Amino acid sequence: MSQLFHIDAFTTTPFRGNPAGVVLDADGLSSAQMQDLARELKHSETAFVLAPQRCGGDAPHDVLIRYFTPTTEVPICGHATIAAHYARAVALGLGTVELTQKTGAGVQRIRVERQPDGDYRILMRQGPLSFGQPLPPAVRQAAARALGLAEGDFAPGLPLQVVSTGHSKVMVPLRDGVALDAIAPDHAALAALSARIGCNGWFPFQLRACGRATDGRMFAPAIGIPEDPVTGNANGPLGAYLVRHGLMAHDGKLLRFDGHQGRALRRDGVVQVEVTIGQDGPQQVSISGSAVILFSAPLDVGRLAASSSTPAAPCAPAG
């Protein structure tokens, strides 16, 4: 029988961090049923964990995971990945182990670390880095209006830029003194601008004055997420952006920092980010975090109303 979890990721405190739905053993669900469940749960993302698939040309992987917002399927989600592997580790009683997952963004490496107290920490190696061109002045002006900011609130000399490690976000650097928690976007305008540039997530951020840490907020109304509390797929690309633009000191090989998010929603959480650095700049991003289970319950797939004849995955389970 499938198992449904509500998990708060990037925190060890219930009702903080980023809530995610997780369904283990989800192979009996159709795509439409997954979407219905995600809409019903109303989390920014719900992760459905399936058996590995045997498809021609597929890279070897240990699990397949699909991710749904309340309105659409997305290729990958950082906090729901942390939540999914946390739920799986608890359910299976895992020790420290490394594995691979296949998602809509390819194959990622996961490390499950069992802590001395028996709890778990999950590390995810994110996908290949890509940087878009700086947003042109007209789009930059429209972004300021949509975010409820003045153009002078952006950090001078830095671009608004799409960065991706599998699910792209717009990095929006803010100057010191801008009240990050007071930002109140025009969600309709932001969604329209997302369609215009082909990127659905907007990540305003600031550097903390002391220590290797940042504060950020993430808005994605174009995919049904007015604000996401704590976002692995934003803080990871942020690490690459910090290295590319020389915004945080490092030793030339590795940058580590804590990405703080969620304060404005009273869902504070922290994403630990690591960026490996080569001669050409940032090379690879990993994120890690803790999680806590709020509740779990059996999910009788057979009793769900069949809403689609489309199978959950098109290929036969491997093994």
CA distance 5 to 192: 33
CA distance 267 to 18: 7
Which helix (H) or strand (E) element contains residue 113?
Answer: strand 106-114
Are 182 and 148 spatial neighbours (Cβ–Cβ below 8 Å)?
Answer: no
Look up residue 35 and give its two tokens.
Answer: 């979407």
Per 3-state DSSP, the chain is made up of helix, strand and coil in percentages (nearest 5) of 25, 40, 40
Query: 9 - beta bridge partners?
Result: 18, 291
* Cα dist from 277 to 29, 101, 282, whole Å: 41, 24, 4
Residue 217's closest CA among 156, 269, 167, 176? 269
**Burial letters 191-226, b for 16+ CB under 10 A, else e:** bebbeebebbbbbbbbbeeeeeebbbbbbbbbbbbe
3-state secondary structure of 32: helix
User: CA 161 from chain center: how many Å?
Assistant: 18
Neighbours of 166 (CB within 10 A): 26
CA distance 225 to 39: 12
Are 96 and 112 spatial neighbours (Cβ–Cβ below 8 Å)?
Answer: yes
Catalytic residues: 45
CA distance 166 to 152: 30
Backbone φ and ψ for 230, nearest 5 degrees, come out as -140, 120
